[in-house]
Chain A
Amino acid sequence: MSIDVIKPGLASSIQDKGREGYYHLGIPPSGGMDQRSLIAANLLLGNHEGAAVLECALMGPELRFGEARMVAACGAEMTPRVNGEAQPLNEVFEVPAGATLSFDFVKSGARLYLAIEGGIDVPERLGSRSTYALGSLGGMQGRNLQAGDSLALLPAHGQASPGRRLAPSLVPAFSKHYQLRVVPGLYAHRLTSERQAQFYAEDWTVASEADRIGYRMKGGTRLSFIDREPPFGAGDDPSNIVDACYPIGSIQVPSGSEPIILHRDAVSGGGYAMIGTVISADMDTVGQIQPHQKVRFVQVTLEEALAARARYQEVMEQLRQMA
């Protein structure tokens, strides 16, 4: 029994919590960009929190269910419809056998997570079902969904109860203008202190090419790096460094013009100076920002970042308690 993909949406991919432990070999974690919404959808259904779900970016797919299954959709606001009838977000509902599940235009947020009772069954690759499209690894043959695909499901466990929903306090709020907290470093010293201050004082607009690899920002003042003699191994551009590891969340500014926040499908290293790193507690938010929306970077200390992470983990614990 399976689900047929009638329309794939714009960029729908199978994701779970990700493929940890191979980034040093050049294989990024992948997994849902908004982990909290992915986990919430699974927990609502009584799935294992890391079951494979569909991540649907900016436009939902159209799916025909070969058998009846309970589902839950969390994350971006796109009203689900079963045979045209509106269904709630952040709440378990049933898709009957033979029914079509589709989605309205996205109202806010960027990525919806559709969890299906039991979870999607694709082979695990390096311990994860997540799609890493750039490396053709995992998910549906290493790529986004296409029309005509058939999604196999793991057995239903019968634990899902229709009408079960997230407490309003656990539903994330979306906006059109986000603040992202950043710990400066490791190469912030390559900018003058005035340029660093300017980076945090301006609104940046998310470019249309923002995707799972990175979020490119436009519209701020060009950041000029301090002149220097390139060290051995570094490129000639003032934004170049001797190749280094890129943390997920790090912000590089090639040639000083357009900052890029790396996300879960990022390359693991390279030769661009990173002027800071978006804190882990705000990375789910990054995955929910639509292209052309605005971002303001807010400088925080490492202690503040750790405190934010602790608060994030408390919310995750509340989600698990709910289950």
Chain B
Amino acid sequence: MTTQQIQAPFPGVFYRTPSPDEPVYVEEGQAVQAGDVIGLIEVMKQFVELKAEASGTLVSFSADNESVLEAGDVIGTLEVNE
């Protein structure tokens, strides 16, 4: 079992939901497929989808919804399927 740190590719504000009144993209402990949207990062009037790079289980989020991130900050941990 390998774990992968999901990092912010650029600085911005992190959102776990598509819009304020919708449920989160992914719950902690939920299975994800490579390419699934995990959250959004907002910067320069753009909302960019953050996608899982591999299939597995999203074990935990270390970044809160609406938190400000620097590039490289860890957003969450993915346990990658073998």
Residues of A within 8 A of B (CB): 10-11, 57-59, 105-107, 208-211, 290-292
Would you call A57 and B68 a contact (CB within 8 A)? no
Q: Which residue of chain A lies nearest to B48 when distances are taken between CB atoms in the complex?
A: A10
Would you call A292 and B46 a contact (CB within 8 A)? no
Other-chain contact of A292, B7, B45, B68 (Cβ < 8 Å): B68
Other-chain contact of B11, A11, A211, A290 (Cβ < 8 Å): A290
A143 to chain B minimum Cβ distance, whole angstroms, is 13
Specify which chain B residues have a CB less than 8 angstroms from the CB of A59 in the assembled complex: 9-10, 71
Would you call A105 and B45 a contact (CB within 8 A)? no
Would you call B11 and A107 a contact (CB within 8 A)? no
Would you call B45 and A211 a contact (CB within 8 A)? yes
B52 to chain A minimum Cβ distance, whole angstroms, is 17
**Residues of A contacting B: mostly:** loop
Would you call A105 and B9 a contact (CB within 8 A)? yes
The contact sample of 6 A-B pairs, CB cut-off 8 A, is: A11-B46, A57-B44, A59-B10, A59-B71, A291-B43, A291-B44
Q: A10-B48, A106-B10, A290-B11 are in contact. List 17 more A-B contacts (CB 8 A).
A: A11-B44, A57-B44, A58-B43, A59-B10, A105-B7, A105-B10, A105-B72, A107-B71, A208-B13, A208-B43, A211-B44, A211-B45, A291-B12, A291-B43, A291-B44, A292-B68, A292-B70
Specify which chain A residues have a CB less than 8 angstroms from the CB of B7 in the assembled complex: 105
Ranked 6 nearest A-B pairs via Cβ: A105-B71, A59-B10, A105-B72, A58-B10, A211-B44, A106-B71
The answer to the question of B27 belonging to the interface, with a C-beta cut-off of 8 Å to chain A, is: no
List which B16-74 residues lie within 8 A (CB) of chain A.
42-46, 48, 68, 70-72
B46 to chain A minimum Cβ distance, whole angstroms, is 7
Specify which chain A residues have a CB less than 8 angstroms from the CB of B71 in the assembled complex: 58-59, 105-107
- Bound-state Cα–Cα, A11 to B46, Å: 10
- Bound-state Cα–Cα, A292 to B44, Å: 11
Would you call B11 and A209 a contact (CB within 8 A)? no
- Bound-state Cα–Cα, A57 to B45, Å: 13
Other-chain contact of A58, B13, B44, B45 (Cβ < 8 Å): B44
Would you call A106 and B11 a contact (CB within 8 A)? yes
A275 to chain B minimum Cβ distance, whole angstroms, is 24
B36 to chain A minimum Cβ distance, whole angstroms, is 19
Specify which chain A residues have a CB less than 8 angstroms from the CB of B70 in the assembled complex: 290, 292
- Bound-state Cα–Cα, A105 to B71, Å: 6
A228 to chain B minimum Cβ distance, whole angstroms, is 33
- Bound-state Cα–Cα, A57 to B48, Å: 14
Specify which chain A residues have a CB less than 8 angstroms from the CB of B43 in the assembled complex: 10, 58, 208, 291
